[in-house]
Each structure stands twice: as C-alpha cells, then as structure tokens.
C-alpha cells in the first residue's frame, strides 16, 4: 500500500499567524524524504488552509507526486487544467464543514461527473472520486471514466473499537471488492490513525491511503522535544 500525506493542517497552522511558518512545502519535502509516496493538498473554495501559491509551488517540485483534492466546480477545473497535478481527487465541499463530511454523490449526477472527469483525463490527469462505500456509488463511479475511487473511511474510523466497527469495515471491504471487479483502482482515507489503519491490510489490494490529521498531530508530539531543546540552547548562556 502506498502512503499519501495530506498537508492541509500545516497550512492551517501557518495561516493562524498569517506568516510563513510552518511551511507546507518544506513539510511536503520532509514527508517525501521519509517514505510518503505522494502529497495531497485540498484547495478549498474559501482557501482556508492551502492557498493557490502552495499548489503552484508543489506542482513545480518534480520529486513530489501531487494529488490535488478539489470540489467539482469550474474554478477548480480551470486550476487543475492549468497546473496539471499528477492526480485530482474530487470531493464534495460545504463552506461550513470542519472537514470533508461525506462522499461525493456520483450516482445522483453521473452525466455532470462524466463530463467533468473527461476534461481532466484528456489533460493526462488521473482522476479519483471520493465516495462512501456503497454499491450505488461504486457502480456510478465506474461509469464516469475515473480510474480511481477513494473510499471514505470516516465512518469506519469513528466506529473503530465500538460494536459498529465490523459493520463499517465490511462496507469498505465489499465496496473495494466491487470496485476492483469493475476495473477501478482503490484508495482510501479520512480519519485513519495509528490504531485503526492496521485493518486496512485486511482489505485486498488497496492502492494508497491518504492520511493527514493523525500524522501531523503525531509530528507535534514527536517533534516538540527537539524544538524546545533547540530554543532552550539559544537562550541559555
């Protein structure tokens, strides 16, 4: 399984002070140097974390395989066609949400999605659709021409350790099996952490996991000792 790291939270922290640090581009380089296979960044309509300049900079670094997460809008399509990331992951977007809440309703808008996907494929960009693990959405995704789906693991992650875990896990497993049978490659992500990620091995043939929050949170815990130590040294005579 490949690992894609979502660096949106680095940009959120940077934007809290409106300055330049922490730098999402530097963070992306560290991720790649330490085993990440790709970098995901979500350019939201309201630009609340990742900004246009970040996407431009990331797209110019040849060592970084960029997965641009974006809504199904004309504005975002134009940006994707202009910067040509390796792949895009199409997600639903609501202004008020804290993070992406559910999967895309592909089944309810197959014609629109097929047209949108086709323009991206024509430009040589791989396309992934972020969907809930249901038969209806997987079958619809397979009709759009997209090569990938990303299964929304949020419900499974929330249910992990509860009596709903098995039910949610089975949904992912069955959706993945069906998707493979229909010729799709399968990614997964949302809410995965250092505990619940282990069961992803039990799902056959997942291509890539996209993980953000838990990795950035862990990096603060593991990196804080060094950061404090360096500052202490500077102010101690």
- The reply to whether 174 belongs to the active site is no
142 in the Ramachandran plot: left (φ > 0), alpha (ψ -120 to 50) or beta?
A: alpha
Shortest spacing between CB 228 and ligand PXP, in angstroms: 26
Q: What whole-number distance in Å separates Cα of residue 117 and Cα of residue 114?
A: 5
Q: Which two tokens stand for residue 3?
A: 């690992």
Per annotation, catalytic residue among 49, 150, 190, 208 = 190
Shortest spacing between CB 22 and ligand PXP, in angstroms: 16
Among 59, 87, 100, 155, binds ligand PXP (CB under 6 A): 100
99 in the Ramachandran plot: left (φ > 0), alpha (ψ -120 to 50) or beta?
A: beta
Q: Which two tokens stand for residue 100?
A: 């992406």
- The reply to whether 190 belongs to the active site is yes
Q: For residues 113 and 192, which CB has a smaller minimum distance to ligand PXP in the complex?
A: 192
Q: What whole-number distance in Å separates Cα of residue 63 and Cα of residue 72?
A: 27
Does 211 bind ligand PXP (CB under 6 A)? Our answer is yes
Does 212 bind ligand PXP (CB under 6 A)? Our answer is yes
- The reply to whether 69 belongs to the active site is yes
End-to-end CA distance of the chain: 49
- Sequence-ordered list of residues with C-beta below 8 angstroms from that of 136, at least 6 positions apart, any chain: 107
By CB under 6 A, how many residues form the interface with ligand PXP?
A: 19
Q: Label residue 126 exposed, middle or buried (CB < 10 Å: 0-12, 13-18, 19+).
A: middle
Shortest spacing between CB 122 and ligand PXP, in angstroms: 23
Pairing type for strands 148-152 and 2-6 reads unpaired
In order of 44, 45, 48, 121, 163, the CA distances from 94 in angstroms are: 9, 9, 12, 25, 30
Interface characters, 66-95, with ligand PXP (x: CB under 6 A): ---x-------------------x-x----
Does 6 bind ligand PXP (CB under 6 A)? Our answer is yes
Per annotation, catalytic residue among 49, 69, 93, 168 = 69
Neighbours of 177 (CB within 10 A): 15
Q: For residues 220 and 231, which CB has a smaller minimum distance to ligand PXP in the complex?
A: 220
Does 29 bind ligand PXP (CB under 6 A)? Our answer is no
Q: Which two tokens stand for residue 161?
A: 């350790």
Interface characters, 160-199, with ligand PXP (x: CB under 6 A): -----------------------------xxxx-------
- Choices 44-52, 115-123, 133-141, 208-216 (CB under 6 A): range interacting with ligand PXP: 208-216
Positions touching ligand PXP (CB under 6 A) are 6, 8, 42, 69, 89, 91, 99-100, 130, 150, 189-192, 210-214
């Amino acid at each position: 399984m490949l690992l894609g790291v979502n660096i949106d939270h680095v940009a959120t922290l940077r934007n809290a002070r409106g300055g330049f640090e922490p730098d999402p581009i530097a963070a992306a380089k560290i991720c790649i140097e330490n085993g990440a296979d790709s970098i995901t960044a979500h350019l939201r309509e309201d630009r609340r974390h990742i900004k246009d300049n970040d996407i431009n900079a990331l797209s110019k670094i040849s060592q970084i395989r960029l997965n641009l997460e974006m809504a199904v809008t004309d504005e975002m399509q134009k940006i994707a066609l202009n910067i040509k990331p390796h792949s895009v992951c199409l997600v639903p977007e609501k202004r008020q949400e804290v993070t992406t809440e559910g999967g895309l309703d592909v089944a309810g808008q197959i014609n629109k999605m097929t047209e949108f996907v086709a323009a991206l494929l024509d430009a040589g960009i791989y396309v992934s659709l972020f969907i809930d693990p249901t038969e209806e959405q997987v079958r619809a995704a397979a009709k759009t021409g997209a090569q990938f789906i990303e299964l929304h693991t949020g419900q499974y992650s929330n249910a992990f350790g509860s009596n709903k875990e098995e039910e949610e896990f089975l949904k992912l497993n069955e959706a993945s099996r069906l998707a493979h049978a229909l010729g799709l490659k399968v990614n997964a992500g949302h809410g995965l952490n250092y505990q619940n990620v282990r069961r992803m091995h039990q799902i056959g043939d997942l291509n890539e996991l996209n993980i953000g929050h838990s990795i950035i949170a862990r990096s603060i815990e593991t990196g804080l000792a060094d950061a404090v130590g360096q500052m202490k040294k500077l102010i101690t005579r």
